[in-house]
Amino acid sequence: MHEIRPGQSIELLKELHILTREGKMNQDSRRKLKQVYHLYQFIEPFLKEIAAEHGELHVVDHGAGKSYLGFILYDLFFKELEDASRIYGIETREELVEKSRRLAERLGFLGMSFLNLSVAESIESEQLPARIDLVTALHACDTATDDAIAFGLKKQARFMVLVPCCQAEVAGVLRKNKSKALADGALSELWRHALHTREFGSHVTNVLRCLQLEANGYHVSVTELVGWEHSMKNELIVATYKDRPQPRAIARLDEVLQTLGLEEMRPRFCNSP
C-alpha cells in the first residue's frame, strides 16, 4: 500500500470505501485517492500559511457530498492541531450530512462539523464563523461550484480551491439561443453540434468563473489536477484574495456574456459580495 501517505488512517480509508475491509485497493479507488492527494498538495501550503498568521483555521468544503476531501484534510493536517481549528462540510442532502456526522464521531474527528444548508443559508448561518480562511469544492456538480464561489466571495475567503464538475446551465442557454446565434455569425459554429454545445458550455462556465473571481479581487491560476487518464473532470481553479478587483476582468466578463448571447447569465457571474 505504498500509495497511502504516512500517518493516514487506514480505518478512515476503509470507512470511505477507498480500501476494502481487507485493506485492498482497486483501480477506481486508487484514482480517487490520487486525486484527493494531489489536491491536498495544493491546499497544504495554504493551511500552513494561515496557521502561521492566525493560529486556528476555518475551512469550508461546499457541496461536500460524502466529504472525502474534508476527512482526508482533517486526517492529514487538522487532527494534530491543538486549537479550535475546524472543517465545515456544507451539503444539501441531509442523509449524507448525517452519515458524515456519524463517521466523524466514530473516528474521534471532533473538529469537523457537517451542516445541511443551502448556499444562501450558509452565507447567513451563525453556525459558521465570520472569518473563513479557505473554501474548497471537489467535483461539486452542476451549479454547486458556483455556490462555493458565491459563498467565498461573500465571506472574502483568503483562498478558494475548486475542481468543477459537470455544469449544464450555460450549455442550456447556448442551446436555447442557438438559432439566433447561428444567424448572427460564424462564432456560433463553436457550439453548433450538441456535443460541442456541452463541452464548450463547460469550458465557458469555467472561464466566466475565473473572470468573476478576478473581478472581485482574486488572483486566479488554472491548472490540471491529475493526468487526464485519471479523470475527465480535471480542471483546478486556485484563487487567492488580494483585494484588488481588476477592471479589465469586469469588462471582459461582460463582453464574453454579450458576445455569446449569455446576457441572462449576468446575475450569476457579475455578482459582487
Query: In this structure, is residue 50 part of a structural domain?
Result: yes
- Residue 220: beta bridge partners? 239
pLDDT for 272: 63
Query: In this structure, is residue 14 part of a structural domain?
Result: no
Query: In this structure, is residue 4 part of a structural domain?
Result: no
Query: In this structure, is residue 131 part of a structural domain?
Result: yes
Query: In this structure, is residue 73 part of a structural domain?
Result: yes
Query: In this structure, is residue 128 part of a structural domain?
Result: yes
Residue-number span of the structural domain to which 62 is assigned: 27-269
Tens of pLDDT, residues 235-260:
899 999 999 889 999 999 999 999 99
Total tally of structural domains belonging to the chain: 1
pLDDT for 37: 86
Tens of pLDDT, residues 83-135:
999 999 999 999 999 999 999 999 999 999 999 998 889 999 999 999 999 99
CA distances (Å), origin 95, targets 73, 111, 139, 189: 22, 20, 19, 43
Task: Give the domain CATH number at 189.
Answer: 3.40.50.150
Its pTM stands at: 0.89
Query: In this structure, is residue 5 part of a structural domain?
Result: no
The answer, yes or no, to whether residue 160 has pLDDT greater than 90, is: yes
Query: In this structure, is residue 118 part of a structural domain?
Result: yes
pLDDT for 250: 92
Grid cell digits, residue 111: 473538529
What's the mean pLDDT in 170-187?
A: 83
